[in-house]
Amino acid sequence: MTRREKKKLQADFLRKAGPNAASFKAAMDALPEVAFYMKDVKGRIMALNRRNCDICNIHDELDAVGQHSDDIFPSALAHSYIANDQIVQKTRRPLINFHNPHAADWSNDCNEGCIYPLFDQAGAFIGTLCIYHKTPSVDGAPDWHSILKPVTEHIAEHYAEGITVDDLAAMVETSPSNFRRQFTRTFGISPGRYLTAIRLNAARKLLETTDKLVSEIAVETGFWDQSHLTKLFKRERGITPGEYRRRHRQQE
């Protein structure tokens, strides 16, 4: 889908959502700490504000328009987000103050938010609207801030280095097998896939902001070589690093 087609898709949806939808979207763009999105009845992203783009590591809102969550995020994240939207789609009722422990940037932040059903002026259901924000702690949320935060901070700082499950398990004084279970239960993703996600995020930023060779980026972000980066990038993103860079540059 071209950028022109995406702009038209978004404009058509905002018209259906009513005369104040565009103004509401503009207001969300002005809020620095609140993330926002709209999806249509098919679950396709119709709008994101700047804060949500930053959290999701999306360069530009139109990169996401027309796509589903599982087109953008690893399955562990996408399934969690889609499940919340589907609750509202089925009930046509708001989902108020839900807590999502799976931050899109794989940070240690818990998110609290609300999802509302969207209706056109004739009263027909046309999609969902979500607003969420970071919350430091949540009653009943998994206590992984204190348990696993040292691990995720270490990975964020040293992702380009050789990191083993044994090393990470030692940081929280547990066995490697228990660590894998605890980590996967908390994040919905294995330690290895988490590390890959962090490395791929770093590679994406370098592809977008530098002219470095893909082989250089691979080594700089902790992959064995260009082939290794390309294989995992395509598995998670559906395109090669070179294709991602060309797409990004065409949209500038």
Q: For residue 210, give its domain range.
A: 144-250
pLDDT tens across 69-126, in order? Answer: 988 886 767 887 888 999 999 999 999 988 776 678 766 667 889 999 999 999 999 9
Separation CA 88–CA 95 (nearest Å): 6
Query: How confident is the model over 41-51, as a mean pLDDT?
Result: 93
Q: Are residues 75 and 10 in the same domain?
A: yes
Q: Are residues 50 and 159 in the same domain?
A: no
Q: Are residues 102 and 165 in the same domain?
A: no
Q: What is the DSSP letter of 39?
A: E
Last residue of a domain, one of 111, 135, 159: 135
Q: Are residues 108 and 161 in the same domain?
A: no
Q: Are residues 189 and 243 in the same domain?
A: yes
Q: Are residues 56 and 11 in the same domain?
A: yes
pLDDT tens across 173-213, in order? Answer: 999 999 998 888 777 789 998 899 899 989 988 998 899 99
Per-residue pLDDT at 108: 60
Last residue of a domain, one of 87, 118, 135: 135
Q: What sign results for the dihedral spanned by CA atoms 153, 159, 165, 171?
A: negative
β strands within 1-141, DSSP E: 34-40, 45-48, 95-100, 110-119, 125-135
Q: Are residues 155 and 74 in the same domain?
A: no
Last residue of a domain, one of 135, 163, 189: 135
Q: Are residues 187 and 102 in the same domain?
A: no
The enclosing domain of 210 has a CATH number of: 1.10.10.60
What percentage of the chain has pLDDT greater than the value 70? 91
Q: Are residues 26 and 100 in the same domain?
A: yes
Q: Are residues 100 and 163 in the same domain?
A: no
Tokens 């060309």 sit on residue: 246
The enclosing domain of 106 has a CATH number of: 3.30.450.20
Q: Are residues 163 and 182 in the same domain?
A: yes
Query: How confident is the model over 159-181, as a mean pLDDT?
Result: 93
Total domain count, the chain: 2
Per-residue pLDDT at 101: 65
Separation CA 228–CA 218 (nearest Å): 8
Q: Are residues 127 and 244 in the same domain?
A: no
